[in-house]
Structure 1
């Protein structure tokens, strides 16, 4: 597909600033923030950018390709869209906008269990090419229903989430009433009134809902009782006994997201998983943990020949993607960058963000004289 590029916003920070002006503060801070003092939020990106790459200018260079094979499918770039909960709160119909852009540009879009579009809707938009992230229910019956719906909709990849055994302590969300249970304060209403475009688009699209979970949520719940329902229904703590029945049921590719150690990687391999995503939930769960690039580098060096090793958290730009791939990732995922794009440009935000990332990544590879993404590790300068 021809790239749709808006030269007024040539990089992700421009999209972030534009989105900040168009989105109510409570929604923007939900997207943009981390947990506690937001140390790991900043460390994630900083340490990706500490990676240095070496160019080989006199190499016989035949041009580059961004095509990337993953789980038997060839994607047009080595990055996809991470799952984000409550996307429709940040910008109306954001899930649908990004799923359509991902399909048009042949990259994977991942739907969260707590996303604001249904499993079936995203499958329809992507013609069965989206991925689904399962937030683990406490009851096996609900788990099995969600897995069956994803299988019936022909999702090729199921992600199970390991890094949310508890809710992150996010003070901005508490102040803004976006903790569980959520609330809508006079302060938040005032913020909405100051963002008329967002308010109008939200009015037209309808109040954001957990569309995938809607069949299981009792009718007429207040926001307070909805929060109680979510707390009672889901438990993000995984272990081998919880993963085994999922592996038995799911016939597609199964990926564990939130891996941060060699020990958990070994368990994933033992349990027969097809891939892992090295991630710390975008710095939203453990403030004093490692950045993702450090365990990614160790894990890829040791286990890449046994399991697909992917990464998210902290990746914002095309050069960040290059550094992550150079550090051993087979594939990368970005979340906030895409939401900045949609928040800034609405329906065109997904297309434009993909175009930025591809242009930036292509330029880095051309500068390095690197013809394909699998050769990027040869360009990393080792410490």
Structure 2
């Protein structure tokens, strides 16, 4: 059962910055680099947050105000806050059992959790934890058989929102991961072994949990793959560039809500609307794919103005606080998703990390909305200064 009153807040870590620093000191360097890093020179990784922080909100101090209600309706469900947990692959590499920890916290606190196809916990297990309330991010397989089977499994698990990923047509060039030789499981170089020895809590938890694996892909993987064969399998398994011909059959079959994640242009937005998407998530994959790309908040402002009355528009990428959520909602988002901060929370605090991070963000968002005099997240646009 959900327990909305059970909100665990650790006062030692009142900011995402504090969680990040604790996470850095608690997990091996190769795991932290995978979580924290972006592509190329990490320009767009940092631009995402910088541009959000340029948004300015103006308070209304003398109006009648009876308090802010954070609850937000999305696809027929009323969530307790206007943010959810973004999908991240290899969550179990960052902290063992991370997917289960976050799914449980999201369910108990009534916010959406999105599981990645390449997560380390299977959709069936996450569905049991969330009573079918989790969303599923869908990497498009190369074979129709695997595509149909994954969809069938998601349907059987009770998934109501399927999220198609469109912003990974290539593997991002990520220098930190290249340097660390990141693979599944991590390559046992002397450097990586020393990093694991220096982080005994992570190492002992990993030994207890077992080596992280792509749990959703287990039914399709040949046994006894070595590291080089595993990389080849992953490359051959997914048809990475999405297009209208690939989306059409999924839209025809999927009876629930269908969301396109990774929209970054008017062209793709118009295509998404034409193809009957129920919503989009404006995203640049957390600055991990295109260093020369636009910050997500800049894309949001433009596309929300043009298409906000035609579909549900959500955003992730760069949000690190309650004020960032408020800025994004004020800029035209109907909902927001957050990735790295939740993983910092779990890496820093283990089983308590999901609950703490939700409580921290809700507290921050509640404060800024009360400060502004804004009664609901959907009204935040009224407090946006027009000249920013």
CA–CA separation in structure 2 for the residues paired with 1:368 and 1:170:
40
Pairing partner for 2:66 from 59, 62, 67: 62
User: 1:47 deviation in Å?
Assistant: 0.3
CA–CA separation in structure 2 for the residues paired with 1:297 and 1:65:
24
Give every structure 1 segment of 4 or more consecutive aligned residues whose post-TM-superposition deviation is greater than 4 Å: 179-182
CA–CA separation in structure 1 for the residues paired with 2:381 and 2:144:
42
Stretches of structure 2 that go unaligned for 5 or more consecutive residues are: none
User: RMSD of aligned C-alpha atoms?
Assistant: 1.0
The answer to whether the 8 A contact 2:185-2:212 is kept is no
User: 1:36 deviation in Å?
Assistant: 0.0
Q: Deviations over 1:248-293 (max 9, x none)?
A: 1110000000001111111101000100000000000000110000
User: 1:183 deviation in Å?
Assistant: 2.9
CA–CA separation in structure 2 for the residues paired with 1:378 and 1:288:
32
Stretches of structure 1 that go unaligned for 5 or more consecutive residues are: none
The answer to whether the 8 A contact 1:158-1:253 is kept is yes
Matched, 1:124 2:137: no
Matched, 1:81 2:85: yes
Matched, 1:72 2:76: yes
Pairing partner for 1:101 from 102, 105, 112: 105
Q: Deviations over 1:70-128 (max 9, x none)?
A: 00000000000000000000000000000000000000000000000001000000000
Counterparts in 2 of 1:161-310, with a 5 A limit? 161-178=165-182, 183-310=187-314
Matched, 1:145 2:164: no
The answer to whether the 8 A contact 1:45-1:315 is kept is yes
The answer to whether the 8 A contact 1:269-1:306 is kept is yes
Counterparts in 2 of 1:27-66, with a 5 A limit? 27-66=31-70
CA–CA separation in structure 2 for the residues paired with 1:180 and 1:40:
26
User: 1:180 deviation in Å?
Assistant: 8.6
User: 1:142 deviation in Å?
Assistant: 0.5
Matched, 1:323 2:330: no
CA–CA separation in structure 2 for the residues paired with 1:195 and 1:270:
50
TM-score between the two structures when normalised by the length of structure 1: 0.99
CA–CA separation in structure 2 for the residues paired with 1:162 and 1:233:
16
TM-score between the two structures when normalised by the length of structure 2: 0.97
The answer to whether the 8 A contact 1:16-1:341 is kept is yes
Match of 2:120, SS state, is coil
Pairing partner for 1:133 from 108, 118, 137: 137
CA–CA separation in structure 2 for the residues paired with 1:290 and 1:121:
36
The answer to whether the 8 A contact 1:29-1:172 is kept is yes
CA–CA separation in structure 2 for the residues paired with 1:184 and 1:292:
36
The answer to whether the 8 A contact 2:264-2:282 is kept is yes
Counterparts in 2 of 1:326-345, with a 5 A limit? 326-345=330-349
Match of 1:98, SS state, is helix
Q: Deviations over 1:138-160 (max 9, x none)?
A: 11111111011001111010000
User: 1:178 deviation in Å?
Assistant: 1.4
The answer to whether the 8 A contact 1:130-1:155 is kept is yes
Matched, 1:19 2:23: yes
The answer to whether the 8 A contact 2:73-2:79 is kept is yes
User: 1:181 deviation in Å?
Assistant: 9.9
